[in-house]
Amino acid sequence: VLRWGAVAVALIIFAFPVIWMILTSLKTAPEVNSVPPTVIPFHLDFGNFSIAAVQANFFTYLRNTVFVSVGATLVCVVLATLAGYGLARYPIRGSRFILMALVATQMFPGILFLLPFYVLLQKVHLINTLPGLAIIYVALSLPFSVWMLRNFFRTVPVDIEEAAIVDGASRLGIISRIILPLAWPGVIAVALFDLILSWDDYVYASVILSSDSRLTLSLGLQTLVSEQTINWGVLMAGSVITAAPIIVAFVFFQRHFVHVISGAVKG
Amino acid sequence: VGAVDKRRRRSKSIRDRRTGYMLVLPAAMVAMVVLGIPIGYSIWMSFTNSSLASTAPAKFVGLQEYSSVLHNPVFTQALGNTAVWVVGNVLPQLVLGTVLALLLNRRTRVIAVLRTILVVPWVIPSVVGALIWSNMYDPFNGIVSSLLMHVGIQHHYEPWLGLPSTALGAVIAESVWKGTPFVMIIVLAGLQTIPPELYEAARVDGANFRQELWKVTLPLLRRTLALVALLTLVFTVNNFNAIWLMTQGGPNNATNILYTFAYQLAFQDFDLGSAAALAVMMFVVLAVVGIVYFVVLERAETDKG
């Protein structure tokens, strides 16, 4: 009983802000500003969503965000799978140093990357473009992805691969038929992690993107905050649009998450 | 026969090594260009008087920018705030996250759903999280004030984010809400690596829940807890979004931590040299903590045999 009581309290506290966001997004403007605040809307009103979608370009932002985040995640996962497998299975000189360097990059305050990134992207004419931003996201999620996948591969027994080699399977055959099926949970979990990371950003996007038609969801939402007189109903509708896809993705792909992280923890 | 065998083995190991390098190379190159160069550039910048406001080429000034940051009165305040920020975030997140993980360490369908709901705050984008909480702290009709008035703790609406005395605590509440689920996930992962036989053995020996917790679970979780403590520390020190999106370090620097201070130096004062110097100092401190962590952990591991 004590256990369930504690769980219930935690659930209310952690879920309340999310529920509050959804409820507020469905209130009319007068109700949002009423004193004292109401919790349940008098009548459901979807006007805020149509304002966010039509006047504030949130559909374009959504498309941009999907493009950048999914693109960056795919590239990052491919690079990290190769590197993680290499580090876990092959005798590489200085692999300890590589791992340490990866961890170290995570400790460097990221805002200082802003200026070099800007200069770097300008040099290759990718400033104010979505691919330019995607490159940044690949780099930012790469270290942790390599680290997690390397640890994950170390928990996958090597015997099966060796047996396949002895049986004379080709290298390509080994990769596609033995390694990939075993690696799948790890790859999905890391991809999910990268996706969450890219979806979350607004700082890097704010330095790299400038035209309204190219903004991402988080940046578009933040721009809305600074542009208008605060209209909480519309802002919460925009928040729902920004948060919903990544929550759905998480719920959908989370199955292996804990399992893979436990491999990384043991590492 | 032996020599041929050895030669073959050696050629195989050389080929293996080459394959290994080929696999690591693409990621290493991307990391070198997109992370290595900016880090190197920042370190170089910290020894110059680089500025966004002037077009004159940056001059090498040695440690001058470092000393100018250290003598900045805001630095002292930001350092104090960072200490409160770190302790106020890391301790509650570790305790709450571990307790939640222990409560939810079962494999049933209901528990799986509860876990998923609890993880949602961590998945929500920072901008959204900050907006929700800013709305809940609204000075005119915020739900936080309203609830506290119902209970009788408060008597009128408070501008939680606008008062120097409450702003830091208010932002910490948001970031604990957002960070705790991650601790829970990692600790759950750690719990799953504990073999169930140990609990069975403990039960056979007549251990009660509390003894199980202190004698079996927590000692075996030591490594996981150490890792998650380090991760939470790094995330907290580098958690720019929560503060910047809710208070921008204000009011009156009450929520200014080292990270937001570095951002202000760079993009509001246009003083890149000082900003870089501050970032390098933060990095060195975190790196030392990280190295100590690895050394201590490794020693504990070898002691165990």
pLDDT of residue A123 exceeding 50:
yes
Confidence of residue A265 (pLDDT cuts 50, 70, 90): low
List, in order, residues 6 or more apart from B235 with CB less than 8 Å away: B179, B182
List, in order, residues 6 or more apart from A46 with CB less than 8 Å away: A26
Report the pLDDT value the prediction gives residue B134, as an integer from 0 to 100.
93
The complex scores an ipTM of 0.90
Q: How far is B185 from chain A (nearest CA, A)?
A: 6
**Which tokens is A93 given?**
């000189």
**Contact across the interface for B28 and A14, Cβ inside 8 Å:** no
Distance CA B50, CA B67 (A): 15
Cα-only R_g, chain A: 22
pLDDT of residue A1 exceeding 80:
no
**Contact across the interface for A86 and B181, Cβ inside 8 Å:** no
Distance CA B135, CA B159 (A): 11
Distance CA B145, CA B136 (A): 8
For chains A and B, CB pairs below 8 A equal 251
- Show the beta-strand stretches assigned E in chain A: none
Report the pLDDT value the prediction gives residue A77, as an integer from 0 to 100.
94
Of B259, B297, B247, B229, nearest to B93 by C-alpha is B229
A105 touches chain B (CB under 8 A): yes
Which chain B residue's Cα is nearest to A33?
A: B141
Distance CA A81, CA B32 (A): 17
Report the pLDDT value the prediction gives residue A121, as an integer from 0 to 100.
87
Contact status, residue B142 vs residue B246, Cβ threshold 8 Å: no
The mean predicted confidence, pLDDT, of chain A is 86
Per-residue pLDDT tens over the stretch A55-92: 788 899 999 999 999 999 999 999 999 899 888 888 87
| Residues of chain A neighbouring B114 (CB-CB closer than 8 A) | 7, 11
Question: pLDDT tens per residue, chain B (305 residues)?
Answer: 455 555 555 555 666 777 888 888 888 888 888 888 888 888 888 898 888 777 777 788 888 889 988 999 999 999 999 999 999 999 999 999 999 999 888 878 888 888 889 999 999 999 999 999 999 998 888 888 888 888 888 888 888 898 888 999 999 999 999 999 999 998 988 888 888 888 888 888 887 878 888 888 888 888 888 889 988 998 898 888 899 999 988 788 999 999 999 999 988 888 888 999 999 999 899 888 888 887 777 777 666 54
Instruction: Using the structure block, give the residue that is written with the tokens 């369930």.
Output: A4
Instruction: Using the structure block, give the residue that is written with the tokens 């804990």.
Output: A258
Confidence of residue A107 (pLDDT cuts 50, 70, 90): confident
Which chain B residue's Cα is nearest to A251?
A: B116
Q: Three-state SS across B34-54?
A: HHHHHHHHHHHHCCECCCCCC
Which chain B residue's Cα is nearest to A82?
A: B23
Q: For residue A135, give the amino acid letter.
A: I
Contact status, residue A233 vs residue A24, Cβ threshold 8 Å: yes
Cα separation values, B134 from A247, B137, B183, Å: 21, 5, 24
Report the pLDDT value the prediction gives residue A201, as an integer from 0 to 100.
92
pLDDT of residue A133 exceeding 50:
yes
Q: Among B135, B240, B287, whose Cβ lies nearest the Cβ of A111?
A: B240
Contact status, residue B228 vs residue A264, Cβ threshold 8 Å: no
Cα separation values, A169 from A37, A164, A174, Å: 68, 6, 6
| Residues of chain A neighbouring B146 (CB-CB closer than 8 A) | 36-37
What is the arithmetic mean of pLDDT over A247-266? 79
Contact status, residue B161 vs residue B167, Cβ threshold 8 Å: yes
Q: For residue A165, give the amino acid letter.
A: I
Distance CA A16, CA A21 (A): 9
- Packing angle, helices B218-237 and B272-304, rounded to 10: 170
Please give the model's pTM, rounded to 2 decimal places. 0.89
Q: How far is B191 from chain A (nearest CA, A)?
A: 8
Contact status, residue A142 vs residue B31, Cβ threshold 8 Å: yes
Contact status, residue B126 vs residue B175, Cβ threshold 8 Å: no
